Structure 1
Amino acid sequence: SKMVPQNPANPVKLADAIANEPRFADEAEREPIVQTLLDMAQKLEGLYRHASTHAAGIVIGDRPLSELVPMYRDPRSDMPVTQFNMKYVEQAGLVKFDFLGLKTLTVLETAVKLIRRRGIEIDLATIPLDDPDTYAMLSRGEVVGVFQVESAGMRKALIGMRPDCIEDIIALVALYRPGPMENIPTYNARKHGEEEMASIHPKIDHLVKETQGVIVYQEQVMQIAQELSGYSLGEADLLRRAMGKKIRAEMDKQRERFVSGAVERGVGKPQADFIFDLLAKFADYGFNKSHAAAYAVVSYQTAYLKAHYPVEFLAASMTLDMGNTDKLADFRQDALRLGIEVLAPSVISSFRPFEVGENRIYYSLAALKGVGDAAVEHIVAQRGEKPFKNLADFCERVDPKIVGKRVFESLIMAGALDCFGHDRASMMAGVERMMGLASLAQQNAVSGQHDIFGASLGAQSQALNLPATDPWLAADRLHREFQVVGFYLSAHPLDEYKAALQKMRVQTWAEFSAAVKRGAAAGRLAGTVTSKQERKTRTGNKMGVIAFSDTSGQYEAVLFSEGLAQYRDLLEAGRSVVITVAAEDRPEGVNLRINSVQSLEDEASRIQKALRIFVRNAAPINTLAGQLAVRGEGQVSFVLIKEEGEGEIEIELPNRYRISPQIASAMRAVPGVVEVELV
C-alpha cells in the first residue's frame, strides 16, 4: 500500500499506480497471490466502504417509508434510515428536512436561566429590536461571544457599517461571504450618505431600498421578476433556480420570458437585458433572506444579552465552550475588559458549570484538564450545604475511587485547593498522604468502624502533616496552572517583568498586531512559550511553530532550520523570552517569523540596578544568601523593619550580584521576607 501515492486532493487510481510503479509487477511475478490481490482491489476501488447516515436529514412520507423506499437500520441509532441518498429520496416522493442543532440557542437558554435568579424574566421573542445599547456595542466591534459576527472580518465590517436596525444585521449575514462581501463598502457608504444610491429602474428601486440599492437576497430577484416582467411566484422560483444552476438552455429560455414580459410593461429591451444580466450576476451568490433573518435574530439576541447582562451571558458562553481553552481565554479576557471578576477555581465555591455572583464569574471545576464531570459532581454533592472545613475534611469526604490521584494533582496545580491555606508545592509533595487519608476514611465508612481505639478519624485528620518543601517559583507555579487550565488564569509569568519590559520598550501582542495592520513589518515582543512543534518543510528541512502567551493574548510564530537549531533550548514550554520578528498582514491574520530569541530573565537582569529586601529579623538571611550566589552588576541591600513602627535600617552589601525579577520572586517566597523591591 505504501507504493500507492497518497494525494487526498487528487487521488491516484490504483491502475495508474500499478502502471507507473515497476515493483508491483516484480512482486506479482514473485508471489502470484499479489496479482490476485491487485485484481480484487481494482474491482473494489470506488465502491462505498460503509453506510453512513446524514447528520440532520429527516424524511417524511404519506405512508410507512418501507412501502416507498428500501430501508436500513443504522446500528448506532434506533431510527430507521433510507438506503437512498438525499438526491433520490426526493425523487421517490419523500419530503426532506434538515434539522440543525445550534449551540448558541443553549447559550441563550442558559443565560436566561441565570438572569432569572435575579428575579428578571427575559422573553427573547419579545425583546425590542431597536435597542440603542445593543447597536452601540455592535458598532464598537465588541462582539466576543456574539453569534455569527465574532470573526475579525465581521468585526471590521460591523465597525464600518455602524448598524442601527435589524435589517442591517440581516444584510451583513447575507453579504459576508466570498463574492457578495465586495459590496459591503458600497452598502456602508450609501447607508451613511457618503455615496448616492444608484437607480436600477424606478419600478423596482423600492424593492432594493432596504439594502441600499444592492441586490442581496434571492427573494429580491424573485420580486423584481414579478414586478418588472409579470412572473408568477412559481415562475419566479424557477428563474431563481435557473440562475443559480447556470444551465445555458434554461437561462436563454428565461431571458426571453423576462425581457418580453418587461417590454410588455413599458421597459426598453436594452434595459431589460441589462437588468436580467444584473440579476443573473447577483443570483449566482444571492442569499435566502429568511435564512439570513433567522440567523441575524439569534445574533441580535446574543448581542442584546451581552449588552445588558454581560455576567450571565459570558458565564453561559463559557459553560457551553468548556472544552475549548482558546475560547475560554477570550471570554475571560473580555470579562476583565468589562470589569467582571473571574474567580479562580475552588472546591469550596466552584461547580460544574460557570456560575455567577455579583459582577463576578466562578470558574468551573469541570473545565480543568484531568478532573472530569464525575469527580466534579461528586465533590459538589459531598460539599452540599456543609462547606469543607479544611484539607483533611475534604480528603475524608471524597471517594478516592472517583477523585483519584490525577484529579487531586490537577486540583492542586489549578489552585482549586488553595482555599485551605496550604502551599501548592507541599500539597503536591504530600498527595500520597492525602490519598491515604481519603482511602482510610472510605474503608471505615464502608465497614462502619472507627479506628482500633474507637475514636473517630479526628486523630488521622490532625496527622495530615504535609511535607516541608520549597515553594514553586512563580514561573513554575504558573506553568503548571497553564497545563491544567489551558491559559494563565491567576496571573501571568510576564507580570513580574512589567517594569523591565517598559524599560526595554517591548510591545504587547495586541499593540504589535494593531501596528502591523497599520503597516509595521517588524517588532520586538516578549512572551512565555506555551508549546513548540517541530515539522518538516517540503524540502525536508525542519521548522518550528512556537506558541506564545503575553498579558494581552496568545500568538504563534514560525522559525526555520538554522534559527531552530540556534534557539531550540530557549524555546521550551514555560520559558519567557524576548523575540524580534518579521511580520506580514494576511487575510487569515498576522503571520510572524522569528529572527532572534533572548532569555527574558537575562535581558531583565542587565537593566536592573538594585534590589532591596525587607525583613523583620535575621531568620531568613541564610536562605536568602543562597539566592545571591552569582556575582553581577546589581546592588543589594537589606532593610530591617524595626518593631512598632520605629523606623527602618538599610544595610547595603559590599559586593555586586546578579539580580532579576525571577530572583526577586524566589526571595518573596522565603518565610520571614516582608517584601522584595527591584529598582
Structure 2
Amino acid sequence: AKVEYPHPDLEPILQPTYGIILYQEQVMQIAQVLANYTLGGADLLRRAMGKKKPEEMAKQRDIFLKGATERGVDKDLANYIFDLMEKFAGYGFNKSHSAAYALLSYQTAWLKAHYPAQFMASVMSADMDNTDKVVTLVDECRAMSLTVETPDINHSRYRFAARDDKRIVYGLGAIKGVGEGAIECILEERDRNGPFKSLDDLCCRIDTHKANRRVLEAMIRGGALDSLGQTRASLMAWLPDALSCAEQYRRDAASGQVDLFGGPVASVAEEQTREPLPEWDDQEKLRLEKEALGLYLTGHPIEAFVDEIRTFTSARLGDLETDGANPPGPGGGRRRGNEKQVVVAGLLIALRTRNGARGRMAFITLDDQSGRVEVALFGEAYEKYANLLIKDQILVVSGALGFDEFSGQNRIRADEIFSIEQARGKYARYLELKLDHRRLANGAAGQLKKLLGAYNNGLCPVIIHYRNNNANAELKLGRDWLITPTDDCLKRLRAFAGEDNVAIHY
C-alpha cells in the first residue's frame, strides 16, 4: 500500500515508520520542522504529552498552531496533525524503549505461537496471586484450545505447569487459603516417597501442622484431591477422621509401637474403611470450586439449565446477531431502529454501576460458555431489577439487542430481568406429571397433594397424565393448583414421580 503523509515536510521524519508517529523523537522533530519549536520547546511538548494535562495540552496546541500557520500550513491541517501527535501520547515511547519493547513483544509472541502451553503456564504463574487475571488467562487458554486441568495433589507443583503441548495443570499455589509452606511440605514428601494413594496415606505422610485441616479442605473444594479416587463429598466428610487417625499414627510411631504382624502402624491407617458418599450436586460442587479457585474449572453453572433455557431464549450468547450496526442518532446517541428484541440467559460475571443524568445505571456482563454480552440497565429498569444483580447468579434478560460501535461488540438494553425460577413462571405453559397407579398407591396421592400445596402460589398450570392397567387419562388441575416451579419444587417432584416423569413445557 502507498504510504501517505499529512504534509510533505513530514516525509523525512515519518518515512522509517511508514507514515505513523511511533517515537517521541518524531513528535519533537515534527514540532521543530512544522511549527518552529526550539529543541527546548519541543522537549516541553513531549513532557506535556507524557503527563496528559488538558490545560497544558491546550496551551501547546495554541503554540503549535501559531508556529505552523506562520510557516504557511493550513490551520485545519495543523489541528489534524496535532491531534495525531496527541493520540500518539497514549501509546508512544522514545526510540530506545520502543526497540526494547518490540524485541520483547516479538520474543513472547514467538513463544506463544510455538510453545503455547508452556507460555500460558508461565504467564498464569506470574499472576497467580491475582484471581481476576487468572480468570482472563484461563479464558485465553480455552480460546487457544488448551485444556486447563484442576490442581492435582499427585501432579501439580506450586506453580502452573504444562503437562504436554495441549494441557496445563493448575498450580497448587493458586488455590485460595493454601500457603507456600503447606505446599512445600506436601511436595517434599511426594518427591521423596511417591504419589499419595488415599486420604489416610496423605494425612499420615505430611506435616498436618503446616498442611492443616483448613488447607486440605480448600484443596478438596478445588479438586486437588480428586486423583485419590473418591468424591469430593466423601473426602470432605472423611477428613476429620483421617486427620485424627494420622495424629494417632504419629503418636504410636513416636512411641515405637508396631502392629500385630510387626509392620508399621501406617498400614493400619491406610486401610481405614469408610462409607463413600455421593458427590455434591453440580451446582454445589461448582460453587465450592469457585470458592477455592476463584473460577469455574470443571463446568459451568448454566450447564444444568441449557436444555430448559433453549426453549425460551432467542439464541446462545455466542450466536447473537444484530440487524446491522446502529448509526449515531441525534446528539451522538445510538439509534434504536436497528435494534431487535431478544431473550437471553447467562451467568452474571461482572457488574459496574454509576450515576447518570437520569439516575442510577448498571452494566452487567453475562456468560453462557458460548460467549459473553454486556447488558445495560437505565433508570426505571435499574431501580426495578437492582435486587437481582448478584454475581454468579443465572439471569434471563429480555431487551433490545444492538451493536455498540464504541466497544465494537453487541450490547443489550434491558427491559426485563428474571431469575431462572421467575423465568419459568413467565414463560412456562404448564408442568406435566406422568404418574401410574403404582406411584399413587399407599397414600401417595395425599403426599402429592401436600407437595403441590407447598408451591400453589404461582401462575403455572399442572397437568397430570395418569395411567393404570385399563386406561390413560389427562387431568388438568384447577386454578387453585397453579404453582411456582422453583428448583426445590422440581427436585421434590422428581424424587416423587421419577426423573423422567416431570417436565415443563414452554
TM range (shorter): 0.5 to 0.7
SS of residue paired to 1:209 = helix
TM-aligned CA deviation for residue 549 of structure 1? 4.3
The letter for the 2-side match of 1:361 is I
CA–CA separation in structure 1 for the residues paired with 2:40 and 2:138: 50
CA deviations over 1:64-111 (Å, ceiling 9, x no partner): xxxxxxxxxxxxxxxxxxxxxxxxxxxxxxxxxxxxxxxxxxxxxxxx
TM-aligned CA deviation for residue 430 of structure 1? 2.8
CA–CA separation in structure 2 for the residues paired with 1:418 and 1:574: 24
Maintained 8 Å contact 1:355/1:364: yes
Maintained 8 Å contact 2:421/2:485: no
Match of 1:241 among 43, 50, 67: 43
Shift in alpha-carbon separation, 1:604–1:362, aligned structure 2, 3 A? farther
Shift in alpha-carbon separation, 1:348–1:280, aligned structure 2, 3 A? closer
CA deviations over 1:105-164 (Å, ceiling 9, x no partner): xxxxxxxxxxxxxxxxxxxxxxxxxxxxxxxxxxxxxxxxxxxxxxxxxxxxxxxxxxxx
The letter for the 2-side match of 1:599 is S
Aligned residue for 1:390? 198
Q: Structure 1 unaligned segments of length 5 or more: list them.
A: 1-191, 260-267, 613-617, 619-625, 638-651
Shift in alpha-carbon separation, 1:453–1:473, aligned structure 2, 3 A? same
TM-aligned CA deviation for residue 393 of structure 1? 0.8
- 2:105 aligned with 1:308, yes or no? no
CA–CA separation in structure 2 for the residues paired with 1:393 and 1:445: 15
Maintained 8 Å contact 2:401/2:411: yes
SS of residue paired to 1:210 = helix
Shift in alpha-carbon separation, 1:603–1:487, aligned structure 2, 3 A? same
Maintained 8 Å contact 2:24/2:46: no
CA deviations over 1:32-77 (Å, ceiling 9, x no partner): xxxxxxxxxxxxxxxxxxxxxxxxxxxxxxxxxxxxxxxxxxxxxx
TM-aligned CA deviation for residue 225 of structure 1? 8.3
CA–CA separation in structure 1 for the residues paired with 2:451 and 2:318: 36
Aligned residue for 1:482? 290
- 2:167 aligned with 1:360, yes or no? yes
SS of residue paired to 1:342 = strand
Aligned residue for 1:599? 419
TM-aligned CA deviation for residue 597 of structure 1? 3.1
- Percent identity over the alignment is 26
Aligned residue for 1:209? 15
Pairs within 5 Å for 1:225-374: 237-244=39-46, 270=72, 287=92, 288-358=94-164, 359-374=166-181
The letter for the 2-side match of 1:375 is A
Maintained 8 Å contact 2:121/2:162: yes
TM-aligned CA deviation for residue 351 of structure 1? 1.4
SS of residue paired to 2:148 = strand
Match of 2:346 among 512, 516, 527: 527
Aligned residue for 1:623? none
Maintained 8 Å contact 1:610/1:634: yes
CA deviations over 1:363-388 (Å, ceiling 9, x no partner): 11111112222222222222115111
Shift in alpha-carbon separation, 1:527–1:435, aligned structure 2, 3 A? farther
CA–CA separation in structure 1 for the residues paired with 2:448 and 2:130: 40
Pairs within 5 Å for 1:78-477: 192-193=1-2, 197-198=4-5, 200-201=7-8, 205-221=11-27, 237-244=39-46, 270=72, 287=92, 288-358=94-164, 359-384=166-191, 386-450=194-258, 456-465=265-274, 471-477=279-285
Maintained 8 Å contact 1:581/1:596: yes
Maintained 8 Å contact 2:162/2:168: yes
Maintained 8 Å contact 1:392/1:464: no
The letter for the 1-side match of 2:196 is F
Maintained 8 Å contact 1:664/1:676: no
TM-aligned CA deviation for residue 465 of structure 1? 1.8
CA–CA separation in structure 2 for the residues paired with 1:209 and 1:393: 69
CA–CA separation in structure 1 for the residues paired with 2:293 and 2:256: 38
Shift in alpha-carbon separation, 1:505–1:204, aligned structure 2, 3 A? closer
TM-aligned CA deviation for residue 525 of structure 1? 2.8
TM-aligned CA deviation for residue 197 of structure 1? 1.4
The letter for the 1-side match of 2:274 is N
CA deviations over 1:404-456 (Å, ceiling 9, x no partner): 22212211211222222222223223332132233333444555545799761
Maintained 8 Å contact 2:157/2:187: yes
- 2:500 aligned with 1:500, yes or no? no
CA–CA separation in structure 2 for the residues paired with 1:269 and 1:543: 50
CA–CA separation in structure 1 for the residues paired with 2:362 and 2:308: 28
Alpha-carbon RMSD? 5.4
Aligned residue for 2:394? 576
CA–CA separation in structure 2 for the residues paired with 1:544 and 1:272: 45
Maintained 8 Å contact 2:28/2:46: no
SS of residue paired to 1:366 = helix
Q: TM-score, normalised by structure 1?
A: 0.51
CA–CA separation in structure 2 for the residues paired with 1:581 and 1:573: 20
Maintained 8 Å contact 1:476/1:574: no
CA–CA separation in structure 1 for the residues paired with 2:107 and 2:285: 40
Maintained 8 Å contact 1:393/1:461: yes
CA deviations over 1:210-266 (Å, ceiling 9, x no partner): 33434443323555689999x9xxx97435214446899x99xx99xx99xxxxxxx
CA–CA separation in structure 1 for the residues paired with 2:405 and 2:77: 36
Pairs within 5 Å for 1:21-36: none
The letter for the 1-side match of 2:418 is Q
SS of residue paired to 2:174 = coil
TM-aligned CA deviation for residue 599 of structure 1? 3.4
TM-aligned CA deviation for residue 604 of structure 1? 5.9
Shift in alpha-carbon separation, 1:273–1:245, aligned structure 2, 3 A? farther
CA deviations over 1:438-480 (Å, ceiling 9, x no partner): 33334445555457997613333323525x6564221111111
TM-aligned CA deviation for residue 340 of structure 1? 1.7
Shift in alpha-carbon separation, 1:662–1:454, aligned structure 2, 3 A? farther
- Name the stretch that deviates more: 280-289 or 399-408: 280-289
SS of residue paired to 2:418 = strand
The letter for the 2-side match of 1:349 is H
Maintained 8 Å contact 2:373/2:411: no
Shift in alpha-carbon separation, 1:609–1:309, aligned structure 2, 3 A? farther
CA–CA separation in structure 2 for the residues paired with 1:433 and 1:458: 16
Aligned pair count reads 439
The letter for the 2-side match of 1:298 is L
SS of residue paired to 2:197 = coil
CA–CA separation in structure 2 for the residues paired with 1:564 and 1:199: 50
Shift in alpha-carbon separation, 1:205–1:357, aligned structure 2, 3 A? same
CA–CA separation in structure 1 for the residues paired with 2:394 and 2:367: 9
Shift in alpha-carbon separation, 1:272–1:572, aligned structure 2, 3 A? closer
- Name the stretch that deviates more: 359-368 or 416-425: 416-425
Q: Which has the larger radius of gyration?
A: 1
TM-aligned CA deviation for residue 663 of structure 1? 9.0
Maintained 8 Å contact 2:14/2:26: yes
CA–CA separation in structure 2 for the residues paired with 1:324 and 1:371: 14
Q: Structure 2 unaligned segments of length 5 or more: list them.
A: 49-55, 327-337, 440-446, 453-460, 467-471, 477-482
CA–CA separation in structure 2 for the residues paired with 1:489 and 1:320: 19
SS of residue paired to 1:477 = helix
Maintained 8 Å contact 1:549/1:555: no
SS of residue paired to 2:311 = helix
The letter for the 1-side match of 2:149 is L
SS of residue paired to 1:270 = coil
TM-aligned CA deviation for residue 348 of structure 1? 1.5
Shift in alpha-carbon separation, 1:333–1:275, aligned structure 2, 3 A? closer
Maintained 8 Å contact 2:27/2:46: no
Maintained 8 Å contact 1:397/1:441: no
The letter for the 1-side match of 2:281 is L
Shift in alpha-carbon separation, 1:372–1:590, aligned structure 2, 3 A? farther
TM-aligned CA deviation for residue 308 of structure 1? 1.8
